[in-house]
Amino acid sequence: MSNSGSKPTAALALADGTVFLGRGHGAAGIRTAEIVFNTAITGYQEILTDPSYAGQIVTFTFPHIGNVGVNSQDIEALTPHAAGAVFRALPTPPSNWRAERSLDTWLADHGLGAISGVDTRRLTRRLRDQGSQNAALQVAPDGAIDVAALKAAAAAAPSIVGQDLATAVSASQRYGWEEAGWELGGYTVGKGDGPHIVAVDYGIKSNILRSLAEQGCRITVVPATSTAAEILALNPDGVLFGNGPGDPAATGQHAVPVIQEVVAADLPVFGICLGHQLLGLALGARTVKMPHGHHGANHPVKDYTTGRVEITSQNHGFAIDELDLPQGVKITHRSLFDGTIQGIALEGKPVFSVQYHPEASPGPADSHYLFQRFVEAIRARRAA
């Protein structure tokens, strides 16, 4: 703990038996989930509201969390989807003109628990060297912590492998989207006079939709369980398969046949993160669980179609397996950290995907060109 003289009000137990004590924040209770680390130095609110973090406790390696407070605009979903959070230092009071309330208050209001005073460097090294694992996080304002029970809960928690979490965070019904890029004072409204995009919501981030609206697209968002017939009945000019949490092989049991039908309809297709993995499965590839995944906003990726290197925002624990990659599927992007596949394209068709987050939020804007590339593919198909 940062203040060794105070009584612990929170504890974090890993499945391997490691225990960290600290100060609790947000709502009381015990949460079990996979624990991962994120190396981004900005955007804690966007990270905690990213639906891709459902079923995960996020360790922030950057120590200064809470300093810009929380507002109603820097969100990727209406409510936080992460299972919990781990901080090095006490969340600092907000000091930003856009802040509407403190991080502590926001956590409590949304029923989210967090622990501070943890040696996050030690924790990150353990996850880096031994791989992501399950953990149990308890927030106990009265200090009543049962360490043995917490360790047992962490050890007994189910693996994220085999879990279809996308349907749990997806919208339950179809809706339209008009919000575009942010300008001083708030978000603008997209023109909506461009191509009609159907975006499949596996846990899609709001900034993906904003980025499409910035390109002038008219956007219809549909649930993760939508059929190909329902998608094609909307007469889209292109289909986007968005990001989301969980094991792609599990979600693929219902999503892969849908994606295969959409690809067969000869529509331009763009996949992002989970959508990229599902597209890979639909084309005949396999996905594998990564040791600790990619979570951060500083990952270098090479685009082999241009030869350029871009710094990207990433959040995924699974990847497309390069072994036995199907014929006709080419690798377009690759991680310069570990060489994993970061982008694929189907030869002869306007079908492509990337593993990372071109919409950023948080992160650099190096990859925004991919949304323009998607729209250009749609216009080229129209012209043909």
Q: What is the pLDDT of residue 172?
A: 96
Task: Decide: 246 and 33 in contact? Cβ < 8 Å.
Answer: no
Q: What is the pLDDT of residue 151?
A: 98
pLDDT in tens, 89-110: 999 999 999 999 999 999 999 9
**Catalytic site includes residue 357:** yes
**Which whole number is the average pLDDT over 325-352?**
97
Token representation of residue 236: 């889209």
Q: What is the pLDDT of residue 3?
A: 42
**For residue 364, is the peptide bond before it cis, meaning its omega torsion is within 30 degrees of 0?**
no
Phi and psi for 214 in degrees, rounded to 5?
-65, -30
**Which whole number is the average pLDDT over 322-341?**
96
* Cα separation, 23 vs 1, whole angstroms: 7
Would the pLDDT of 4 be above 60?
Answer: no
Return the CATH fold of 166-383: Rossmann fold (3.40.50)
Domains of the chain, by residue range, sit at 10-156, 166-383
Phi and psi for 17 in degrees, rounded to 5?
100, -5
DSSP string, 96-119: -TT--B-HHHHHHHTT-EEEES--
**Which whole number is the average pLDDT over 2-22?**
87
* Cα separation, 33 vs 257, whole angstroms: 29
Catalytic residue among 46, 217, 273, 295: 273
List CB contacts of 339: < 8 A, sequence separation 6 or more: none
* Cα separation, 115 vs 171, whole angstroms: 30
Q: What is the pLDDT of residue 290?
A: 98
pLDDT in tens, 137-180: 999 999 999 999 999 999 999 999 999 999 999 999 999 999 99
- Please report where in the chains the tokens 């030690």 appear, as a residue: 122
pTM assigned to the model: 0.96
Would the pLDDT of 348 be above 70?
Answer: yes
pLDDT in tens, 219-263: 999 999 999 999 999 999 999 999 999 999 999 999 999 999 999
**Catalytic site includes residue 214:** no
- Please report where in the chains the tokens 């622990």 appear, as a residue: 115
* Cα separation, 59 vs 318, whole angstroms: 18
Q: What is the pLDDT of residue 254?
A: 98
Architecture of domain 10-156: 3-Layer(bba) Sandwich (3.50)
Buried b (16+ CB within 10 A) or exposed e, 7-20: ebbbbbbbbeebbb
DSSP state of 82: B
* Cα separation, 360 vs 26, whole angstroms: 27
Q: What is the pLDDT of residue 5?
A: 53
- Residues for the chain: how many in total? 384
**Which whole number is the average pLDDT over 362-371?**
96
List CB contacts of 367: < 8 A, sequence separation 6 or more: 301, 310, 312, 354, 356, 357, 358, 360
pLDDT in tens, 275-324: 999 999 999 999 999 999 999 999 999 999 999 999 999 999 999 999 98
Phi-psi region of 307 (alpha: psi -120 to 50; beta: other; left: phi over 0): left
**Catalytic site includes residue 217:** no
Would the pLDDT of 117 be above 50?
Answer: yes
Question: Cα–Cα distances in Å, from 302 out to 41, 275, 277, 307?
Answer: 22, 20, 18, 7
Q: What is the pLDDT of residue 305?
A: 95
Specify the amino acid at residue 182. W
* Cα separation, 71 vs 94, whole angstroms: 11
Calculate Rg over the CA atoms of the chain. 21
